[in-house]
Amino acid sequence: MRVFWPVTLAAALLVGLLAYGVFSKGGDTTLDEAVAKGERPMAPVASLPVLGADGSSSLADYKGKVVVLNVWASWCDPCREEMPLLQKTHEKISSQGGMVLGVDTQDASTKALEFLKEVKASFPSVRDRDREYGREFGVNGYPETFIIDRKGRIAAMQRFPVDQAWLDKHLPKLLAETA
């Protein structure tokens, strides 16, 4: 029996190290690191179904605008709390060449539309049915917000709810830029 003890211990340590490596890695932080360094990586572009309408839309449709891209879900309480601010922001920046674009995820269309009506959000939203588009941004929680400059590049990002201070820090400068 004593001969197997070192082998068992070594195997247990190896399994423990593998598990630690898998669980400590977390999500892909490449985008976060680039934006933190002041870089502006190109935002992923995909054609997604428009929520509550026929057809599809893409971030590319809004090139030349500053886009506050917000990934949300109807069952997400922090999403519900920040929606009035996003609607107010959409109304404020529309005349300056900006807009809010919602990306609904993990929802039935009817639930998502009921949610938007409840929170009185009228900015456009698209559906990311399989979460694939969100994964391209590294989304792993809700809400997450990305500010896209007029050239289609990610200029700022927030991995949890936004507030007025964060929007004020980033939007005026980007709205003043020309394409």
Q: Could you read off the pLDDT of 101-159 as tens digits, one per residue?
A: 999 998 999 999 999 999 999 999 999 989 999 999 999 999 999 999 999 999 999 99
Q: Residue-wise over 119-130: b if at least 16 C-beta within 10 A, else e?
A: bebebbbbbbee
- Judge whether 8 lies within some domain: no
Burial 66-76 (b: 16+ CB within 10 A, else e): bbbbbbbbbeb
Question: Which domain does 77 fall in, by range?
Answer: 27-176
| pTM (2 d.p.) | 0.83
Residue pLDDT, tens place only, 1-54: 555 665 665 555 444 444 444 343 445 678 999 999 999 999 999 999 999 999
Answer whether residue 19 is part of any domain: no
Asked, for residue 132, whether it belongs to a domain, the answer is yes
Distance of CA 52 to the CA centre of its chain: 20
